[in-house]
């Protein structure tokens, strides 16, 4: 790699790329963002009227969500392979894996659309009760992050056709998108565990009648 | 692989090989499968919850360390990220402790010391006029099931103790929520009982507004206001 392809930002006082440092700082602040939304849900999920005489967490569909969790996990694997390909300057593989990541991200979003619709049909909307509002705010913001990630990845893909020099000489452009994407995945790891598994565990989800 | 290592700071380790990424992806999948399997396993809830939290922390760390290659990168990146992460964990734990409501399993209604809702004898709402429901306040109060949870002194059928006594609600209602008149408070109590929970009681009252007509609702509210 010729030295003159290095953008000037490589020469920083820390010797580190500052866009990457900025991304990590941003992700640190995102921990606070999602942390409070998760706590908000944990605190309030049981302060809600029952839905069809059942505790609201009974509405969660663990098998379906396990599948969508797996899909997001696979997207993270595809992403890391895309980053590795970008760093080898293997343009073809890079395109394949970035596209695969975006497609898996879209599938995850479709699962979420399906889930939200199912909930609304069951009578749970963002305005129904505290469970609904905290749940939709949390998972909705996560979905928005995935959407942004998909757009970012697709724009990288377009870039690889129009201005490939921006990616081949600078794998960091793919790497930073990857950092964002993996972060969105780890947020889901926490949501899946805390909201879905821990939230629905030990519930008696049969009619109690009133 | 060597082609890209030019990007790295002298203090940074070389990035892992692709095979490492695949292995990590495989382990993450297996751990997720174990989590879902544990969820359905009939062992004590606290055991499952503890293992779920440990396993997901492990997954979290693996993605950050390998996929985000923080383990191989300069320490400064870790510092900036863990700074935010530690603050976030502190905020989450602080909030949960403050509100003391990280309930696992059934929410209070089914597990609280008060009799669970299923044993409450709630008079069936008369919808098809099966029993001639009176149209005065006391009859509506009893026929719509309020009496199954609330006492009104001197009213037969209003004997439940799941909810606060209704005797005197007319004089108390206006003092419950600042800014809500006595009438508005009573209306809200029936339309959205979860909006304000009387101290010492559980949030088990259902929104019952849908069980009666507008007219009946007006009569009921008027009646409750007269209970001094």
HEC string for B3-69: HHHHHCCCCCCCCCCHHHHHHHHHHHHHHHHHHHHHHCCCCCHHHHHHHHHHHHHHHHHHHHHHHCC
Q: How much is the pLDDT for A77?
A: 96
User: For chain B, what percent of residues have pLDDT higher than 70?
Assistant: 82
Residue of B nearest to A70 (CA): B29
Bridge partners (DSSP) listed for residue B151: B159
Nearest-neighbour CA in chain A from B161: distance (Å): 15
Residues of A in contact with B46 (CB under 8 A): none
Residue of B nearest to A37 (CA): B92
Contact A1 B63 (CB under 8 A): no
Residues of B in contact with A27 (CB under 8 A): 81, 84
Nearest-neighbour CA in chain B from A158: distance (Å): 22
Ramachandran category for residue B115: left, alpha or beta (phi over 0 → left; psi -120 to 50 → alpha): beta
B22-78 per-position pLDDT tens digit? 999 999 999 999 999 998 888 888 888 899 999 999 999 999 999 999 988 889 999
Q: How much is the pLDDT for A2?
A: 45
Residues of A in contact with B39 (CB under 8 A): 62, 197, 200-201
Nearest-neighbour CA in chain A from B43: distance (Å): 10
Residues of B in contact with A195 (CB under 8 A): none
Contact A186 B59 (CB under 8 A): yes
Do the domain assignments include residue A126? Answer: yes
Q: How much is the pLDDT for A200?
A: 86
Contact A185 B63 (CB under 8 A): yes
Residue B10 has pLDDT above 80, yes or no: no
C-alpha separations of A123 from A45, A46, A54, A117, B219 in Å = 16, 17, 12, 10, 28
Mutate to test the interface with B, among A47, A62, A123, A138 (most CBs of B within 10 A): A47
Mutate to test the interface with A, among B3, B28, B70, B84 (most CBs of A within 10 A): B84
Q: Name the token pair of B33.
A: 């499968």
Tell me the average pLDDT of chain B.
Answer: 81
Residue of B nearest to A62 (CA): B36
Contact A39 B95 (CB under 8 A): yes
DSSP 3-state assignment of B109?
A: helix
C-alpha separations of B4 from A13, A22, B15 in Å = 22, 21, 9
Token match 């203090």: residue? B11
Nearest-neighbour CA in chain A from B38: distance (Å): 9
Measured at the alpha carbon of residue B101, what is the angle toward residues A204 and A191, in degrees to the nearest 5? 70
Among B49, B82, B92, whose Cβ lies nearest the Cβ of A38? Answer: B92
How many structural domains comprise chain A? 1
Among A44, A190, A208, whose Cβ lies nearest the Cβ of B117? Answer: A208
Q: The dihedral of CA A197, A198, A200, A201: what is its sign?
A: positive
Residue A24 or B199, more confident: A24
Selection from A46, A42, A48 nearest residue B193 by Cα = A48
A125-166 per-position pLDDT tens digit? 888 888 899 999 999 999 999 999 999 999 999 999 998 888
Residue B195 or B211, more confident: B195
Q: How much is the pLDDT for B65?
A: 92
Q: How much is the pLDDT for B126?
A: 42
C-alpha separations of A154 from A34, A111, A174 in Å = 25, 20, 11
Q: Quick one: A8 exposed, middle or buried, by C-beta within 10 A (0-12, 13-18, 19+)? A: exposed
Contact A14 B21 (CB under 8 A): no
Do the domain assignments include residue A32? Answer: no
What's A188's domain CATH number? 1.20.120.80
Residue A207 has pLDDT above 60, yes or no: no
Mean pLDDT of A24-40: 95
Flag whether the pTM goes above 0.80. Answer: no
A46-73 per-position pLDDT tens digit? 776 666 667 788 889 999 999 999 999 9
φ/ψ (deg, to 5) at A51 = -115, 125
Do the domain assignments include residue A70? Answer: yes
Q: How much is the pLDDT for B7?
A: 64
Does the ipTM surpass 0.85?
yes
Contact A88 B39 (CB under 8 A): no
Q: How many other CB atoms are there within 10 angstroms of residue A61's CB atom?
A: 17
Helices (H), chain A: 18-44, 62-87, 91-122, 130-162, 165-168, 172-191, 198-200
Bridge partners (DSSP) listed for residue B159: B151
Q: What is the dihedral of CA A170, A84, A105, A33, to 10 degrees?
A: -70
Residue A184 has pLDDT above 50, yes or no: yes
φ/ψ (deg, to 5) at A54 = -120, 150
Q: Name the CA radius of gyration of chain A, rounded.
A: 20
Residue of A nearest to B38 (CA): A197
Contact predicate B186/B220, CB 8 Å: no
Contact predicate B120/B148, CB 8 Å: yes
Nearest-neighbour CA in chain A from B49: distance (Å): 6
Superfamily of domain B117-226: Cytochrome c-like domain (1.10.760.10)
Q: How much is the pLDDT for A84?
A: 93
Size (chain B), residues:
228
Question: Which structural domain range is residue A109 located in?
Answer: 65-196
Q: How much is the pLDDT for B127?
A: 42
Contact A84 B107 (CB under 8 A): no
């Amino acid at each position: 790699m010729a030295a003159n392809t290095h953008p000037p930002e490589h020469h920083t006082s820390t010797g580190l790329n500052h866009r990457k440092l900025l991304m990590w700082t941003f992700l640190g602040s995102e921990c606070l963002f999602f942390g409070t939304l998760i706590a908000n849900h944990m605190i309030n999920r049981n302060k809600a009227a029952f839905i069809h005489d059942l505790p609201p967490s009974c509405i969660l569909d663990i098998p379906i969500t396990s599948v969508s969790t797996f899909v997001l996990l696979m997207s993270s694997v595809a992403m890391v392979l895309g980053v590795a390909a970008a760093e080898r300057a293997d343009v073809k593989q890079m395109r394949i894996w970035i596209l695969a990541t975006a497609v898996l991200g879209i599938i995850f979003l479709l699962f979420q659309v399906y889930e939200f619709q199912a909930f609304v049909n069951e009578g749970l909307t963002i305005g129904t009760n505290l469970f609904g509002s905290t749940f939709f705010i949390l998972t909705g913001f996560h979905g928005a992050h995935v959407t942004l990630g998909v757009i970012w990845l697709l724009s990288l893909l377009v870039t690889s056709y129009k201005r490939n020099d921006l990616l081949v000489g600078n794998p960091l452009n793919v790497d930073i998108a990857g950092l964002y994407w993996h972060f969105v995945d780890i947020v889901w790891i926490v949501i899946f565990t805390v909201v879905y598994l821990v939230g629905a565990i030990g519930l008696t989800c049969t009619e109690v009648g009133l | 692989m060597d082609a890209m290592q030019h990007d790295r700071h002298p203090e940074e380790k070389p990035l892992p090989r692709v095979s490492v990424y695949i292995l990590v992806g495989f382990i993450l999948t297996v751990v997720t499968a174990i989590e879902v399997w544990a969820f359905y396993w009939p062992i004590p809830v606290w055991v499952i919850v503890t293992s779920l939290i440990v396993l997901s922390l492990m997954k979290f760390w693996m993605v950050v360390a390998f996929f985000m290659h923080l383990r191989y990168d300069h320490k400064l990146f870790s510092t900036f990220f863990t700074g935010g992460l530690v603050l976030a964990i502190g905020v989450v734990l602080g909030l949960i402790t403050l509100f003391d409501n990280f309930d696992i399993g059934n929410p209070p209604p089914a597990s609280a010391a008060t009799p669970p809702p299923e044993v409450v004898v709630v008079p069936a709402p008369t919808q098809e006029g099966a029993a001639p429901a009176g149209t005065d306040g006391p009859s509506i109060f009893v026929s719509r099931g309020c009496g199954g949870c609330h006492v009104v002194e001197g009213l037969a059928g209003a004997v439940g103790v799941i909810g606060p006594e209704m005797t005197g609600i007319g004089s108390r209602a206006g003092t419950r929520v600042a800014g809500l008149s006595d009438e508005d408070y009573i209306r809200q109590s029936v339309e959205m009982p979860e909006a304000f929970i009387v101290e010492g009681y559980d949030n088990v009252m259902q929104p019952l507004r849908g069980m009666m007509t507008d007219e009946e609702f007006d009569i009921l509210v008027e009646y409750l206001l007269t209970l001094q």
